[in-house]
Amino acid sequence: MSIRTEKVASVIKKALAKPIADLAYEANAGLATLTSVKITNDLQIAKLYISVFGGNITPLEFIDFLEKKSGELRSQIASKVRLRFVPEIKLFLDDTLDQIDRIQTLLDSVDKKDNNNDSDDNNTIT
């Protein structure tokens, strides 16, 4: 990404962070965070990565809800960010924290197996 696209992505992230959190409250989706924004070099498409925790609906249902509200999100960008064209919004679920949790669980299980093998070796008479 060029410096310009990084700056535009940063401004869009700041502009949409609160509206997305408000929409999460409206949809009973729990805590929703706009984790990152990536924008194409021509500034025509903005990819929004959203992380969702808790709530009464699944994260994918919340993404679907946001897709229905994408017009509102684009109008927020238009009102807060000075651009010639308002980019099209593509929404993605950011599951990075879920992946980190899964990796940590795997590492913990390997560590427990190693500790069990070490204790078995200590109990063996040679």
Kind of pairing between the strands at 31-39 and 88-93: unpaired
Instruction: Please tell me whether the overall predicted TM-score, pTM, comes out greater than 0.85 for this model.
Output: no
| pLDDT at position 61 | 92
Q: What's the order of all strands across the beta sheet hosting 45-53?
A: 31-39, 45-53, 88-93
User: Of the candidates 103, 11, 1, 70, which has an alpha carbon nearest to the alpha carbon of residue 42?
Assistant: 1
Residue range 61-107, pLDDT digits in tens: 999 999 999 999 999 999 998 888 999 999 999 887 777 878 888 88
User: Of the candidates 65, 60, 64, which has an alpha carbon nearest to the alpha carbon of residue 25?
Assistant: 65
Distance CA 115, CA 119 (A): 6
Residue range 16-61, pLDDT digits in tens: 999 999 999 999 988 899 999 999 999 999 999 999 888 888 889 9
Distance CA 48, CA 55 (A): 20
Correct CATH for 3-94 of 3.30.300.20, 3.40.50.2300, 3.30.70.260, 3.10.50.40:
3.30.300.20
